[in-house]
Structure formats: C-alpha cells, structure tokens
Structure 1
C-alpha cells in the first residue's frame, strides 16, 4: 500500500509484549512495586499499596476462576468510586473474561440500555449500587451470578468468600488469551451526540491505551486525576500512572474545590483534569499554585485558546498539555512535557503508529496542512468494534471517522476545531462555534459559555448562546449579544439570542451536553407554536424578541 503524503503519522516504535495479554502486562508492571502507595482517597486519606493492590487482584481472579468465570464471559461491576474498582478490573481481565463497569449515578434508563447491549452473565455490585438499582436489574435473566463487593449475602455471593485463598503472586499466571480477538474491556461512548454505544477493546488495544511514550518523567511522583474510572480516558490514564509506580490521589466526588485542595494538600506534580476545571481556574483570580505542580494535562475535549492564554499568563512556569482521543481509540495524539516544539492550542502529534487524515466534508478529498476538515484515523489503538451493531465503521483504507473537525500544521501538530455534529451553518455559511465561545469567555461577566444552533426554517441555524454568569456579575442578554455581534462577521452574530443558566448541563466527565441545550431551543419553538427568528432571555426566562438582523 502506498503512503499518501497528505497523511500524518507516528513513526515511533511501540513495543507490545509477545503474550499480548493485558492482564499479564499490568500484573508484571505492578508487581515491581511493593510498599509504595498506589491509590489515596483524598476524602478519607485512606490508601492502598501496590502490594495490597496486586494481592487483592490475584486473590479475586483466582476465586472468580474457581467460580467458573472463563474466556467469553462478561463480568460487570456496578459501583460508586472506590479503590476496589481497579483491582477488580485487573482480576476479571486476568481470568480471560471481559470487564465492563457501570457508574452509581448512571440513571435507570441508560443503565438498562447498556446492560441489554453487553449482557453480562456475572455482576459484581456494591450495597449502594444495589439499593439504587437492585429492583431494576434483578429481573434481567442474562445475569446468572450476583456477587456482593460488600459481603451482603442476601444480594449475592460475598466477595470475601471468593478471596479466601491467599495466592502467591509470584506463582500466579493469568489465563492465556488471543490479544487480537479476545475482548478485555467493554466501555461506553459518552452519549453526548446520541445513544451510547458499547466499545469493545481487545487486549492489544488496552496495552496501547495504557502506554503513553514520552509522557512520564522521573520528577513526576504524585499524580492526581478525576477518578471517573467508568470513563475510558480517566481509567487508562490512571492505569498509565500505576504502570510507572506513581502515587495517585483521587476524590470519590470530585469538584473544582476538591481538585484544588488535592493539588495543595498532597503536593501533586502532575494532574489530569477536564477542560471545565481549567476554564474555571482561568476565570479565578490568581490561586496560590502548588510549587510542586509541574504539569496540568487537559483531557476530554479541546481546551479553548482563550483559556490557554489566561492560564499561561497567570502561571507561566506551569506546563499545560493536551491530548486527543476517544473511547473508540486513544491516545491518538498528545503533547509531551518539556517538548520545545509544542504548539500552543495543539493536541500534539500522532502516537502509537496512528495515521491521521483530514477529509473535506463536501468533496471528500484528502486535505493538506492548515486545511480544515473531518479527522479520520487508523492504527492499533482502534477498538475491535462496537457490540451488536453491523454499522459500517471504516472506509476502504481502514480509517475511522472521529466526528471531529480540525487541521494539522506544517509540522504535523493537530488542532481540534469542533465536533462535526455541533457545527452551525447560517445561510450556507459555517459559523465558528469555538470563536464565539472564546469571545464570550473574554467578557468579564461570563464564567462559562456554549453556542449551539437554533433551528430556523429559512436560514438553517441561528447561533444561540447559553451562558453562566461570573460570580457577582449580571450582564444583560442584549448587552452580551451586542458585545459579540460588534466583533464578528454578519453570519456569526448571535441571532438566536442569549440565555442565562445557573449551570450548563454536563456529563460526569465535565463535557457539555450540547444536545440537551439544542433540545431546550426546540422545546421553546414548540411551546411558542410559531416560527421564530430570534429568541432572547431575560432573568432566566425565554421570551420572543424581534430581531431586525435576523435574515
């Protein structure tokens, strides 16, 4: 196959162990560390060492195998954020079965949708999870065996009975697997742009998602991240830290305030947080930064340029890094610490033999440097597939469409512009959503902002802004609209109006649920029952407005 000179790719060699077994790979790495602390719950200050972590995983894996768990089985874990999550994941993977996890705050409808897709035959649960969902999930006939993580015999087999044998970690061998075909982990897309899908990752996928060559340095000793381990990115970032024997600080109910406290209390060197945290940090007056903090890594979605600029000005010695990926495969790109060629606003260069191409949305031709289009990728981090779907995933060359829009520069640094599904087209002109949001964030009265398209029968989409006011500020909707409209081209003006909310709807990873905001606009149109060209908002209540610029 000939290489297309317009494709960008990594030429860095990635070594995969010959056994291609994710469980064995993890165990071999973790077993090198002993009494060092692996995980610290910052709320309780309780910790678990690497020795305790591996012993727990091996004992449980042995017990699950004795129970009958085998290759081809699916073992689900329903739990709040607890230290047992990651050792349990390792235990299941070492049996050769597939591990999947459901969050305590999942919600009944999404929970049932996911379970009916993946159909686990074993289910491990905590008491809290059972109290919330037991009546809903107990009738599911495909779940054959229930296991209680809290030893509640009336809701399943007590996990302690499976761990009665203390296994010699040095003699334990994970079950052999086929690294390409056996599914190690089943995870779920965020569902921010539609129904959540089950993503099946084989053992090779998981090994590569755990490796991030060039990211770790000896000076990074204490790490912090949002422990939303049901999310692929947070889960595998935490595993990356574990593979290097680092101490990881987590909070079971992370907030902006708890994250700040963790950075200071534990003298964190390297923190991985969602863009929402960095956005709020940039809007706050100077925070007495932890002198030990060397790197803030933004994960989940692209960080706004305005946020980057503010943080760089406020904390010039702090390295702000970004990466790019999705549940279906990650990391695709990331920036490396102390890499002098890093580009401000970029998400880095391709890694893990990943190849990326940019496709024009209209002509479908491959684009070159500094030309914006759809981002497609192929490579060994790409998932095995989706569960229970025959949807065509790949093009004729094996590339997967990320659904994101972006471009790369002359030196092959990738820049993310927007989600294709989130794009707004007014009167055949594409609207720069990110540019509008950056303008709003520059306004002193704005804490957070999101721009979506209000449906219009004549012009397609009317750019509409949802805004959270900064503390103590109360800018008027018309004032904000005039501020933006005076700075942009006519097709970029906020003809859909400005609305104030107490908070933007987000998923548990902090990603804004744009679809929910679009639905609010549609509900307004249906409620009013007439065609509207502009919708304003005063004191939080949507009202019809006449707009001389509409159309």
Structure 2
C-alpha cells in the first residue's frame, strides 16, 4: 500500500460527488501517516484491533491504511447496526480505538456504556464525547510525518483485517483475513481500474468494499464517492464523471436495470459492470446487456471467508453464470449426504480451497472447525453446479431450500420466474410452516412504478410457468421497499419476522 500510494502521488484518489472536492494519493498518504503516528502515540501495536464504522467518504479508508502501517488489525463495522449488533461486535473484537461517523456514534457510545468498556472513540465530524479525526490530523508534527516509516511485517500470514460475515442468520462472525489475502486481492486480475474513474456503493463493511479499495490503491484509480445507491443518481454520476467501472450488488443491479433510468442516459464512458453478493438472474443480465450493449456485464461469486472472488465471468460467458474458477482457487461440487464429488451439471454443495482463505473465525474455533474440514475444504452452504464448460451456476443456500411434501424447492428458481415478469422490480421467496405439507412458499415483491398487476395475477404467472409444487401456496406480500442487511443483501430474517406476524 505504501509503495502504491507513493507511486500514484499526483493522481486523484477520491472525488466526493456531494461537494466535487478532489483528493490526491499524496494527500491520502499524508492523512494515513498522521493517523498512524497518532495510533503509535496511543501505544497501538501489532495485533491490536482498530474498528471503523462509517459510510464511504474521502477519509473512511484513512484509519484502515494507518492500521496497516503500524501492523494493527482493522475491523469494519456496519454503520446502520442496531444496539444488539453493536454490543456483539464490541464484545467480540474488543477494539482499542473506534473510528465512527456522526450517524453511528450514538449506538456505539450506548454499547460501550452497557458493556462498561472504554476504547478511544474518534469521529469523522464532531461530537462532544469523541476525538475529531480532523484534530488528530491537524495536530501532528510535520517533521515527524516527513520521517515516518511503516512498521515492517514479520509474518505475511498475520491477520490484517477482521471482516464480519453478513449475519443473514444470527449474529455476524468475525472473519480473520491475513496480509497475504490482501496481497492476493491486490494482484487479482479480474477488474482493471487503472487510471479510470470507478464507482461503487459498498462500504468497508462489505468484502467488496475492502477489495475494491485495495485494488483502486494498487492501480491508481479515481474513486467517485457517493454513499447511497439511487438508480437515477447512479446514471447521473456515470455521465458527469465519465465512470468506466461500476460495481453493484445483485440487488442494486435488479433495481438499476428495472427502474428504467438506464434507457434515458447514453452512459458512453461505462466499460464494465461487475455484480455480486447474491444470484443475478439470467433475465436481469440479459436485460442489462440489451440496454447497455457496449458494456461488459460480469457476475462474480465470492465470500468474505475467502477474501473476495472465487469465480468471475468473462465477456463470452452465459447469462446467469458466475463464470469460471479464479486463480489460486479450487472448487468441487459435493453430495452432502454421500460425500461424493458430483459430475458436471449435477447440483450439490460448493466446496472451496483457496490461497486467500481466512485464518479462521475470530475467537471462535468451533465455527471455524464446522466450516473448514481437516483437508482444508471450506463448505460454503451454497447449492450449485458446474456445467460442461466449467462455468459455475448458483441455485440457492442449503438453509433456504423449502420442503414441500418431500420436494425440495429452491426459492431462487421461483424468484427467477417472478423477476422475468415486467411488473416485478425485486423479489424474495421464503418458507411458511404448514401443518400437513411441511412448508409453503411465500413471495415478497416490490412492483415497478405504475404496475397494476394484482397478487392473483402473479400467483397465476408462477403456476403457469412452473411445476405444481412450486406454486405460491402462501401467497404474495407487496412491499414499498425491501429491508437489507449491512452487506446489501435482502434481509430474509426480517422478512421471516414480517411473515410471523401475518401467519
């Protein structure tokens, strides 16, 4: 990071789309050095945890780079977390310093009070009970900053970062990623951002946010910063700043293409859209290719536990596939019952071995042991298959399969049919317990503006296009907007809570 940032000195690292302010790599280096010096003065050393809880802005990456320079561990938190989650992550990672936004400081101070635990709190902005980052940067001695050198690393396998699993079921676990994993992220050739304007909305809490920041620094990209995803605004940002590379979560891609704004803009500068986080349905990818024929629309499959992408599409790959296996990764499709490796086009659990694999779940050896077996294979919990061309297709999560009268129903397959209906903007299917049938599928749907279709119209649409056991026997609930997890996926456990109140 030191070498990359120094070599890109005069290039623009960040452009704040809210203010049009720009910041060079030299300015980023200066802020990171001053922050690192302050951390050293607070006696922060190798192995100490520095938490960062904020959305994307020009200073959000500063404490992460500073932590790397003093061999501390950086640990991103979800800015929108509630008090139970704040209590959980505080107790799990016991940070020495927490860098947070004005939005998240209240819940963090409350959690600290409840746990009677008092790390230093630094704020991006101002608050009476916290130190301001701008004061830290301003009060640093210029001569010290000029003479600063990063602390040499003695073991590349040491933990550099603790990420959090998305916590779609239960509380998030801490995922320990090593310096070696960060190096592999930097060298991953999937995305070329060299010297071009790049836009994403993933905060540092998402593995994609960390991966994209590492790649941007190594390649000297200009990152366009805008914290909230909005379909129309995204098109405006692409046009105004000549964005060439765009990363969107699967949910954002659905909304981006189906809201219809894409058709109103030329978006000539755009070269690549990379999507990930959940399955992008073939119909959605096809629609996006049709709207933007000059853009490569690529889907990747990744996990926090392996430090980023496991597979990624190439331009000639099939719609809906996640592409072929990445460098330094092995995949096999297993029958979970028999333990046998399955042939092409047979669905089973995806197992992974990777050079960038996590060191383990932080302070949780039991969870590590139940996820990574003795031979080093990580059991993903995802169901999928590899076709005869070596392309991976994801079907669903094992835990989300719906059981109906002995059938196993994939919610993803029903979602794929519903998303092909022109009235549907976004969809998620969950299960409802049933006294005699085990479970019935229930669909949550947001409709496109102006769509007049009724619940019965869409129930009939599924019945007409799928086998009998896939019918939406629990019906449809229309939502104005979906709840999302901190990593941008649809929050299925929130949908389960909504359904419990209704059934």
Same structural fold, with TM-score higher than 0.5 when normalized by the shorter chain:
yes
Please report how far the alpha carbon of residue 331 of structure 1 lies from its aligned counterpart in structure 2 after TM superposition: 2.9
> For residue 444 of structure 1, what is the aligned residue in structure 2?
422
**Residues 43-96 of structure 1: CA distance to partner in whole angstroms, max 9, x if unpaired?**
121221100001111121122113211012112223343321112110012111
Distance 1:156 1:504, change over 3 A: closer
Return the alpha-carbon distance in structure 2 between the equivalents of residues 97 and 156 of structure 1.
20
Distance 1:449 1:153, change over 3 A: closer
Please report how far the alpha carbon of residue 125 of structure 1 lies from its aligned counterpart in structure 2 after TM superposition: 3.5
Please report how far the alpha carbon of residue 149 of structure 1 lies from its aligned counterpart in structure 2 after TM superposition: 4.6
Return the alpha-carbon distance in structure 2 between the equivalents of residues 193 and 136 of structure 1.
22
Return the alpha-carbon distance in structure 2 between the equivalents of residues 140 and 238 of structure 1.
32
Return the alpha-carbon distance in structure 1 between the equivalents of residues 383 and 126 of structure 2.
48
> For residue 16 of structure 1, what is the aligned residue in structure 2?
none
> For residue 60 of structure 2, what is the aligned residue in structure 1?
85
Please report how far the alpha carbon of residue 150 of structure 1 lies from its aligned counterpart in structure 2 after TM superposition: 4.2
Distance 1:390 1:343, change over 3 A: same
Pick from 213, 227, 231: which aligns with 1:238? 213
Which structure 2 residues correspond to residues 217-256 of structure 1 after superposition, within 5 A? 221-256=196-231
> For residue 141 of structure 2, what is the aligned residue in structure 1?
165
> For residue 376 of structure 2, what is the aligned residue in structure 1?
398
Greater helix share, structure number: 2
Pick from 455, 465, 477: which aligns with 1:477? 455
Please report how far the alpha carbon of residue 29 of structure 1 lies from its aligned counterpart in structure 2 after TM superposition: 1.2
> For residue 278 of structure 2, what is the aligned residue in structure 1?
301
Please report how far the alpha carbon of residue 404 of structure 1 lies from its aligned counterpart in structure 2 after TM superposition: 1.0
Return the alpha-carbon distance in structure 2 between the equivalents of residues 217 and 180 of structure 1.
25
**What's the TM-score, normalizing by structure 1?**
0.85
Return the alpha-carbon distance in structure 2 between the equivalents of residues 60 and 308 of structure 1.
43
> For residue 176 of structure 2, what is the aligned residue in structure 1?
200
Conserved 8 A contact 2:207-2:308: no
> For residue 176 of structure 1, what is the aligned residue in structure 2?
152
Look up the SS of the partner of 2:142 in the other structure. Answer: coil
Which structure 2 residues correspond to residues 305-454 of structure 1 after superposition, within 5 A? 305-335=282-312, 339=314, 341-391=316-366, 392=369, 393-454=371-432
**Residues 286-322 of structure 1: CA distance to partner in whole angstroms, max 9, x if unpaired?**
2323111111111212211110111122222211011
Conserved 8 A contact 1:465-1:494: yes
> For residue 535 of structure 1, what is the aligned residue in structure 2?
none
Return the alpha-carbon distance in structure 2 between the equivalents of residues 255 and 67 of structure 1.
40
Conserved 8 A contact 2:48-2:95: yes
Look up the SS of the partner of 1:347 in the other structure. Answer: coil
Return the alpha-carbon distance in structure 1 between the equivalents of residues 175 and 492 of structure 2.
22
How much is the aligned-residue C-alpha RMSD, in angstroms?
A: 2.3
Return the alpha-carbon distance in structure 2 between the equivalents of residues 295 and 161 of structure 1.
38
Please report how far the alpha carbon of residue 161 of structure 1 lies from its aligned counterpart in structure 2 after TM superposition: 4.3
Distance 1:168 1:301, change over 3 A: farther
Conserved 8 A contact 1:335-1:342: no
1:209 aligns with 2:185: yes
Look up the SS of the partner of 1:29 in the other structure. Answer: helix
Look up the SS of the partner of 1:120 in the other structure. Answer: coil
Conserved 8 A contact 2:251-2:488: yes
> For residue 35 of structure 2, what is the aligned residue in structure 1?
60
> For residue 23 of structure 1, what is the aligned residue in structure 2?
none
**Residues 235-270 of structure 1: CA distance to partner in whole angstroms, max 9, x if unpaired?**
211221221001111202332233222111111011
Which shows bigger deviation, 286-295 or 325-334? 325-334
> For residue 162 of structure 2, what is the aligned residue in structure 1?
186
Distance 1:76 1:509, change over 3 A: closer
Pick from 486, 490, 500: which aligns with 2:464? 486
Conserved 8 A contact 1:151-1:159: no
Distance 1:479 1:210, change over 3 A: same
1:106 aligns with 2:84: no
Please report how far the alpha carbon of residue 277 of structure 1 lies from its aligned counterpart in structure 2 after TM superposition: 2.3
Please report how far the alpha carbon of residue 145 of structure 1 lies from its aligned counterpart in structure 2 after TM superposition: 3.3
Look up the SS of the partner of 2:307 in the other structure. Answer: strand
Look up the SS of the partner of 2:308 in the other structure. Answer: strand
**What's the TM-score, normalizing by structure 2?**
0.92
> For residue 26 of structure 2, what is the aligned residue in structure 1?
51
Structure 1 portions without partners, runs of 5+: 1-25, 526-551
Please report how far the alpha carbon of residue 142 of structure 1 lies from its aligned counterpart in structure 2 after TM superposition: 4.2
**Residues 92-111 of structure 1: CA distance to partner in whole angstroms, max 9, x if unpaired?**
12111111122332222211
Please report how far the alpha carbon of residue 427 of structure 1 lies from its aligned counterpart in structure 2 after TM superposition: 1.3
Return the alpha-carbon distance in structure 2 between the equivalents of residues 383 and 290 of structure 1.
38
Conserved 8 A contact 2:57-2:226: no
**Residues 365-387 of structure 1: CA distance to partner in whole angstroms, max 9, x if unpaired?**
11121111111111221111112
Which shows bigger deviation, 152-161 or 301-310? 152-161
Look up the SS of the partner of 1:85 in the other structure. Answer: coil
Look up the SS of the partner of 1:91 in the other structure. Answer: helix
Please report how far the alpha carbon of residue 197 of structure 1 lies from its aligned counterpart in structure 2 after TM superposition: 0.7
Distance 1:169 1:197, change over 3 A: same
Distance 1:144 1:105, change over 3 A: closer
Look up the SS of the partner of 1:241 in the other structure. Answer: helix
Distance 1:232 1:480, change over 3 A: same
Look up the SS of the partner of 1:312 in the other structure. Answer: helix
Conserved 8 A contact 1:352-1:381: no
Please report how far the alpha carbon of residue 143 of structure 1 lies from its aligned counterpart in structure 2 after TM superposition: 3.4
